[in-house]
Structure 1
Amino acid sequence: MMIETQTSYLEGIANYVGADEASLRLIVSIFIGFPLAFIHRNWLYGKSQTQQHVFFICSGFLMGFWNFGWAMGHSLTALCLTYMVLKFFGATGLSIIVTMIFNMSYLLWGYWTTSTESYDIMWTMPQCVLVLRLIGLSMNYYDGKQNQTKLSDYQKKVSLNNLPSLLEIAAFVYFPGSFLVGPQFSMRRYIDFTNGVLINNNEKQQIELPNSLKTAVKSTLLGFLYLGLFQFGSAWVPTEYLLSDNYANSNFIKKLFFLGFWARVTLYKYIACWLFTEGVCTTFGLSYNGKDNNGNDKWDGCQNVDLLTFENATQFNHYILSFNMNTNHWCAEYIYKRLKFLGSRFASQFFTLAFLAIWHGFHSGYYVCFFNEFMIMFFEKDITGPLKKNENLQKFINTPVGKIATWCILKIYTFVFMGFAFLPLAVLSYEKYLAIYKTVYFNGYIFFLGSIILLRFIKPLIQGNRTPRSHAE
């Protein structure tokens, strides 16, 4: 009876603010992390590791149970079977392969049995976070048994000399600040955090709650700002408008800018959630990341969005560097760099994006979106070199007028084409994104694919005349 009352109460609030009940429950669950962080920092931080592990497991699991009910058994199954694989096969390449195949297959089975034509807040949402976490754990354990001189600095930093206990791994998985929507962080960071060594011993008194609270409050307030911008913007330009006759019959330029505005607003809901979780992780103290050059504490270890870079993006690589940063960093370290044996950055990037698309699910929109990303990044890399070699162009760009003109052109370029690139991932259904693509005449494919082909013939013209080198050089 109490559960029914809570459900109707949440449903009433959700209807009032114009959201669905599952989304509101998710937001409330994220905010439950704040009082949990207060409890941990005041009574458990620096105390028994076992007590901390149990606290994280219980709070994270119950939080998930409130959202997904008995479907939480799926995460428990994946956790236990992955631990058995690592325990049985040890720190071997086979462990990595089995862990990856099992967890990805389990996740895809979940997508297959639960997905609909739209985004659903189901048990597969925290499961996809868990998949990367467990795959990363298997690789960190493997790296801990390798020749340390052959590892990268990052691999040395996160490698594990011994397999953590099931209790430690479970607490790592169900950590309440990141279980539902991320961010990703390594098992080593979690162990150092609970051991009390993430923050140097002589600084412990300085990093008590007030020191991290300022950064946490800032992230949370920014989260509310972006959530408000999403609510306002999505009401002004809803997805349904893009599928309407009014949009189809609009001026072409207007359609491009409306599509870009819609995409940016849609991204704001993700940014808001990540800012909230960043605030929670910072309140816990998990995001401590050493000191900056001025000796100030850095609390960006769980940062998932760089707002300055995102809002001032003038190339698509800025979006990649600033949006969903921890997942992108995970893919760079655990997929892209480990494919260097292919001998081709092009191939490594392609397979990394293919992994990301599969990890997201079966909807065609995921695959089209990541193809768009691959296409645009290829174009930008292809054209950057010739443009930098054009001395006359570079002289103009470095003038005050040139800097302003360049910034405006690139800002419009990224704003407009972000809408085109992101559209399939947001609407998922090919009927929807094809209908919208038709109304803008597939302009993104004409521009990028056409430019890639055309560049094969006009690169010398773009490069312009360069000052010849002397024989002495």
Structure 2
Amino acid sequence: MGHLFINHVEAQIKPDFDVNVIDITGAQMVLCMKLSSFGWNVYDGTLSESSLSELQKDRAVRKHPSLIEFLSYAFFFPSLMTGPSYDYMEFARWMDLSMFDVIHKKASGDTIVKRRIPRSGRVATKKLVQGILWIVLWTQITNYISLEYAQSDKFTVELPFIVRAFYLYALGITYRLKYYGAWTISEGACILSGLGFNGKYTNPKTGKTKYLWNRVQNIDPWAFETGQNTHILLAAWNMNTNKWLKNYVYLRVTPKGRKPGFRSTLATFVTSALWHGTRPGYYLTFVGGAFFQSVGKLFRRNLRPIFVSADGVTPGPYKVYYDITCFVVTQLAFGYIVQPFIILDLKPSLAMWASVYYYVHIAIAISMFLFLGPPKKYITKALKKLQPVPLSHSEQIKIDSLRLKQIKADLDILTSQTSLGIPQPDIDHLDDEIHDAIREMDELRADLIQQLQDFRATHPAHR
């Protein structure tokens, strides 16, 4: 990370781009993820399994690799320049082919291990074609939507405010297209080699089985472009970097026995910022995105219940309009927030935001004032009046319990598909609904306990 940081600083100090010099920071960023995760995996290998999480047990390096094995992992060509990153044990299981082991269980309880390497040519070719199409689309669309025009005086003179806001959204799409192309082609190369193999999945409803090739997937364009909130967009973008930050920064700086808090969040933010570089544009985007994500949670907590039934799950008649509004607001805001990430320099970034009157920042400030400032009590009270008549505590607990049981059943089905002898995909992001149900149950339980204690205090005969 230190060497990478020095190169980032040097690139900022020497802004003149030399076409004869190869920029190695991209490859260094991938190596930084690989080497730091490898260090933690080796450390985990020295600990007892009782002190490790399930993921840490699976990725722990118990036997140090040979030099050629380590160099093969670090400089594996399909992922060297643009990623994706992955843990050493995943690569080791691919090298010794144990990734493809099929485990059959007999009625007697004995197991038989067979090996079958599925064909990956068709899937890899599909990824290659997709990547080429993304790049072709990028080269064509930039003829009509360009950063140069958005930074010119014509932008504010010729286009009204609302059109400029949507132009920045379209401009954000053009930025992402080249990443879609590069990452998809790189993923296809890993799939062709077999490294992308991730077991197989049997649909519990249809009974159909298919092979999964998403082990090193780094981008989900459909999920990103149709996302309705910040959580979905971040989960669909640079997915392996998100895993690295979560597993080797966010959770690692959290003391054992405690939940991640501000220190974990701050350490993750600083690491991500330094990993990307030292240009001001990165920090403007990260800070703006963090505030927007916080505001999104406030709106979801206070507005979403108005558009669903009293059970908190069944969509109401106007839920579709809520979803459309969330999509438009989220996509427009991200189109605005990501501009400095590409522009990088401070003054041009601020000038771009100024061309649309800092409207997202103003909306964030107003929202935080309304929901966190003096009007909070009145705003939340007024919004609660618009929500459906709440269920009784016992009914709400029963419904939340059923929701969690159904979620657990679905996860059990996914994680029970162990016929190929490899761990199933890690569930990196639980849906907000799960967190809501757990939070509601905890709040209701505490409320019921308090009410019972108050009742017993005022009615001695019922003690």
> Shared fold by TM > 0.5?
yes
Name the amino acid aligned to 2:275.
W
* TM-score relative to the length of structure 2: 0.74
Q: For the Cα contact (< 8 Å) 2:288–2:337, is it kept in 1?
A: yes
| TM-superposed deviation, 1:401 | 5.6
Q: For the Cα contact (< 8 Å) 1:379–1:452, is it kept in 2?
A: yes
Q: For the Cα contact (< 8 Å) 2:309–2:388, is it kept in 1?
A: no
| TM-superposed deviation, 1:404 | 3.2
| TM-superposed deviation, 1:204 | 4.3
Secondary structure (helix, strand or coil) at the match of 1:340 reads: coil
Equivalent position of 2:75 in the other structure: 174
Matched, 1:463 2:384: yes
Superposed, which structure 2 residues align to 1:42-61 within 5 Å?
A: none
What per-residue deviation string (whole Å, max 9, x for no partner) do you get for residues 7-35 of structure 1? Answer: xxxxxxxxxxxxxxxxxxxxxxxxxxxxx
Which of these residues, 239, 247, 250, is aligned with residue 325 of structure 1? 239
Equivalent position of 2:191 in the other structure: 282
Matches of 1:142 and 1:114, distance apart in 2: 33
Equivalent position of 2:48 in the other structure: 147
Superposed, which structure 2 residues align to 1:74-473 within 5 Å?
A: 104-115=1-12, 116-117=14-15, 122-200=23-101, 204-207=115-118, 211-249=119-157, 250-293=159-202, 294-341=208-255, 343-390=259-306, 402-456=318-372, 457=376, 458-464=379-385, 467=389
Name the amino acid aligned to 1:459.
T
| TM-superposed deviation, 1:160 | 0.6
Name the amino acid aligned to 2:92.
I
| TM-superposed deviation, 1:233 | 1.9
What per-residue deviation string (whole Å, max 9, x for no partner) do you get for residues 185-224 of structure 1? Answer: 11001111111111116664451xxx21121111111111
Q: 1:371 to 1:117 in 2, by over 3 A?
A: farther
Matches of 2:40 and 2:384, distance apart in 1: 44
Equivalent position of 1:43 in the other structure: none
Q: How many residues align?
A: 367
Q: For the Cα contact (< 8 Å) 1:350–1:374, is it kept in 2?
A: no
Secondary structure (helix, strand or coil) at the match of 1:404 reads: helix
Q: 1:245 to 1:466 in 2, by over 3 A?
A: same
Q: 1:119 to 1:430 in 2, by over 3 A?
A: farther
Q: 1:327 to 1:289 in 2, by over 3 A?
A: same
- Kindly indicate which of the two structures has a greater share of residues assigned to helix: 1
Q: For the Cα contact (< 8 Å) 2:307–2:322, is it kept in 1?
A: no
Q: 1:372 to 1:324 in 2, by over 3 A?
A: same
| TM-superposed deviation, 1:295 | 3.1
Q: 1:391 to 1:427 in 2, by over 3 A?
A: closer
Secondary structure (helix, strand or coil) at the match of 1:463 reads: helix
| TM-superposed deviation, 1:268 | 1.1
Q: 1:301 to 1:344 in 2, by over 3 A?
A: closer
Q: Which moved more, 1:321-330 or 1:342-351?
A: 342-351
Matches of 1:392 and 1:289, distance apart in 2: 36
Q: What are the ranges of 5 or more consecutive residues in structure 1 without an aligned counterpart?
A: 1-103
Q: For the Cα contact (< 8 Å) 2:309–2:315, is it kept in 1?
A: no
Matches of 1:396 and 1:145, distance apart in 2: 46
Secondary structure (helix, strand or coil) at the match of 1:292 reads: strand
Q: For the Cα contact (< 8 Å) 1:234–1:266, is it kept in 2?
A: no
Name the amino acid aligned to 2:282.
Y
Q: 1:257 to 1:396 in 2, by over 3 A?
A: farther
Equivalent position of 1:24 in the other structure: none
| TM-superposed deviation, 1:143 | 0.8
Name the amino acid aligned to 2:251.
K
Q: For the Cα contact (< 8 Å) 1:137–1:187, is it kept in 2?
A: yes
Q: 1:185 to 1:344 in 2, by over 3 A?
A: closer
Q: 1:407 to 1:299 in 2, by over 3 A?
A: same
Q: What are the ranges of 5 or more consecutive residues in structure 2 without an aligned counterpart?
A: 103-112, 203-207, 395-447, 449-463
Q: Which moved more, 1:331-340 or 1:433-442?
A: 331-340
Q: 1:118 to 1:378 in 2, by over 3 A?
A: farther
Q: 1:468 to 1:111 in 2, by over 3 A?
A: closer
| TM-superposed deviation, 1:311 | 2.3
Greater Rg by CA: 2
What per-residue deviation string (whole Å, max 9, x for no partner) do you get for residues 228-264 of structure 1? Answer: 2211222211111111111122200000000000011
Q: For the Cα contact (< 8 Å) 1:117–1:429, is it kept in 2?
A: no
What per-residue deviation string (whole Å, max 9, x for no partner) do you get for residues 273-309 of structure 1? Answer: 0000010000000011111124321111110112331
Q: 1:239 to 1:399 in 2, by over 3 A?
A: same
Secondary structure (helix, strand or coil) at the match of 1:339 reads: coil
* TM-score relative to the length of structure 1: 0.72
Secondary structure (helix, strand or coil) at the match of 1:296 reads: strand
Name the amino acid aligned to 1:109.
I
Matches of 1:106 and 1:132, distance apart in 2: 13
| TM-superposed deviation, 1:369 | 1.0
Matches of 2:89 and 2:136, distance apart in 1: 36
What per-residue deviation string (whole Å, max 9, x for no partner) do you get for residues 374-420 of structure 1? Answer: 11111122332222444778799966862432232122112211111
Q: Calculate the aligned-residue CA RMSD, in Å.
A: 2.5
Secondary structure (helix, strand or coil) at the match of 1:184 reads: coil
Name the amino acid aligned to 1:378.
S
Q: 1:119 to 1:199 in 2, by over 3 A?
A: farther
Equivalent position of 2:408 in the other structure: none
Q: For the Cα contact (< 8 Å) 2:101–2:116, is it kept in 1?
A: no
